[in-house]
A and B are shown apart, each in its own frame.
Chain A
């Protein structure tokens, strides 16, 4: 399956719909990065949310930066706070 990548801010209600989720693959990642199935419905959704289209490498860089920041924040937590969460792991976009 081919994918497109965009950055879009989730405005909340109906940002995506269950119907849209059935029409194309959609997943959200740190940094407001969305991986979108590359079909006519996915393209229409990118337009609907005014998505800023990125290349895969650009999108991956945004995610990497967010994860790195989250890892740093986790590393700085007190030990008992770390007990309550897991250290963010790197994410490789499909």
Chain B
């Protein structure tokens, strides 16, 4: 017997609280005020502290989880200080760095921040540019750093107690541009760079510090310098950095468990090195800002892992659980799709055709307020632009197939009668395609410019045809003869739905699927209608029907999704429309123009399944 776990991949659980939608990854944060690499960082994801760069600046900035604002100014401007700061937004410590012009190689000056202003601390025992600092303002450890040109590193380790530095046991591998996390008595240093004795060396070594000595930890999967890190000795996170030659700068995110590194699925959207980071952040909540992508970026990214339980990092749609606190049986359900208004088309029209996708769509033909039109407009997901190309035969109630750069206009009504001519669009202009001996209007189309199928419509004899890019061939007819119907899918897996069933004015809810050789009846639309809008790029098993007319005069706002067997009513169009020009898929669809019954230029945009939500199971 099949059980629930075998179906869904997890057991029904008892939980004391509703699971938080599982999200683990990087989210865009507020942009940093500058974009130079080398910003020092401290604090947490929602209370971070960064210093600027650009150049050799004394500025510092505070982050509140949303945006950066100016903090206090250091007395010593400094750059090249990525790992030179540690602590929190209200108790930070910065040491060393570079200042030009300066009489010395690096800086020895230490400064402390209290959330509003900087004060001088005890000088570091040696000049450092890039330092390797971690811990707190009153219990910090600095291990090595860039102590001389050309990119020579030291491995001297010193402790800071809030007023002065004292010598401690040296670490094993001299380096700088490392990533550090943890505290003075339980810290980690990983990766880094040096040029001693003369060639570039990228390090993969990890060293752990217990407050008195350094020991080897698990090596990084790849040598890396300029990364950043947060967390604790047993729960650290390491992100970004630069690897030798290829791949260069990376957005890789790694987790450390006190022994070894594992790759996390999330990566920084902007691969970067030399970035600032929330040095007191955690493995599940940290922050990265600026850095070299290259060139430099000012973007901030926030890492969050609020997985509801181990191993669950994504929404589990359909997850069923019992909340032992509220004593309710619940499940995680898919969110609903919705319509939103879009930008107007340039030529108000109805009864035309659409093709392509939501971000690369096309509309053409139809009836504008004065006459049939051959006008063509391209849609980029935001706005419509008129193409210089216009069909040579203005027409309405035509079939359509293809994409924005390879569209097909199939026959249609071109008063005083129907036309059998097709036209092909190449992204800028229309050229004549094959002409069908049987002229058909009110038909639907599906497929591509070179492998299309046209079905239904008003005309004599056989009313389904395939098109191969140059000529039409007869194909099996629909079981329910109709015109002004909807259609989607491909030449060998098409879907026909709705329409008008002559004689008379009866509208149809019938749905038929085509398998390349015959049409088979499937589940009816919930709302029978003609002049129906549809997402032409939708496959046979996931179609969308919207708008239309329940009779010859009224308009409908009904929207329905098809799952391969059944139509389900979903959110209505904001305004009832008929004979719209549409394209896209069940996930993203555009609906342009149409009749209310007045011919309009307005558009609507459909976004499918929304965010998952927790729903309570009730009984009656």
Contacts and interface: CB of A to CB of B under 8 A. Distances in A.
Given A43-B381, A53-B359, A70-B294, 4 more contacts: A10-B28, A47-B382, A69-B295, A86-B294
B271 A13 contact: no
Contacts of A50: 382
Contacts of B303: 18
A48 to B, nearest CB: 10
Contacts of B266: 18, 21-22
A88 B271 CA distance: 13
A10 B131 CA distance: 31
A89 B98 CA distance: 25
Contact of A28 (B151, B269, B314): B269
A74 B9 CA distance: 52
A1 B532 CA distance: 33
A78 B523 CA distance: 73
A26 B269 contact: yes
Interface string B378-394: 00111000000000000
Interface string B245-289: 100100100000000000000110111001000000000000000
Interface in A53-87: 53, 66-67, 69-70, 73-74, 80, 83-86
B299 A28 contact: yes
Given A53-B360, A73-B295, A19 B21 contact: yes
A39 B357 CA distance: 11
A70 B28 contact: no
Contact of B588 (A15, A26, A47, A69): A47
19 contacts: A4-B359, A12-B29, A12-B300, A13-B28, A13-B67, A19-B25, A22-B25, A29-B293, A30-B294, A43-B358, A44-B588, A44-B607, A46-B381, A47-B358, A50-B382, A73-B295, A74-B294, A85-B274, A86-B248
A8 to B, nearest CB: 11
Contact of B269 (A16, A22, A30, A80): A16
Contact of B29 (A13, A83, A84, A86): A13
Contacts of A74: 294
Nearest to A6: B359
B585 interface: yes
B24 interface: yes
A69 B360 CA distance: 31
A83 B380 CA distance: 44
A15 B31 CA distance: 10
A77 B52 CA distance: 20
A49 to B, nearest CB: 10
Nearest to A13: B30
A13 B29 CA distance: 4
B30 A12 contact: yes
B151 to A, nearest CB: 5
B80 interface: yes
A26 B26 CA distance: 11
Interface of A: 4, 10-19, 21-22, 26-30, 39-41, 43-44, 46-47, 50-53, 66-67, 69-70, 73-74, 80, 83-86, 88-89
B37 interface: yes
B608 A40 contact: yes
B166 interface: no
Nearest to A27: B269
Determine chain A's interface SS by DSSP, over half rule.
mixed
Nearest to A36: B359
Contacts of A27: 251, 267, 269-271
Interface residues of B, number: 58
Contacts of A43: 357-359, 381, 587-588
Nearest to A90: B248
A18 B295 CA distance: 24
Contacts of A19: 21, 23, 25, 611
Contacts of A89: 245, 248
A69 to B, nearest CB: 8
B30 A28 contact: no
Nearest to B21: A19
B31 to A, nearest CB: 4
Given A13-B66, A13-B67, A26-B269, A47 B359 contact: yes
A88 B313 contact: no
B27 interface: yes
Contact of B37 (A26, A67, A73, A85): A85
A41 B586 CA distance: 11
A50 B27 CA distance: 18
Interface in B307-361: 313-314, 357-360
B88 interface: no
A11 B298 CA distance: 11
A74 B475 CA distance: 64
A80 B149 contact: yes
Contacts of A26: 269
A53 B37 contact: no
A63 to B, nearest CB: 10
Nearest to A9: B31
Given A47-B381, A47-B382, A88 B294 contact: yes
Nearest to A31: B295
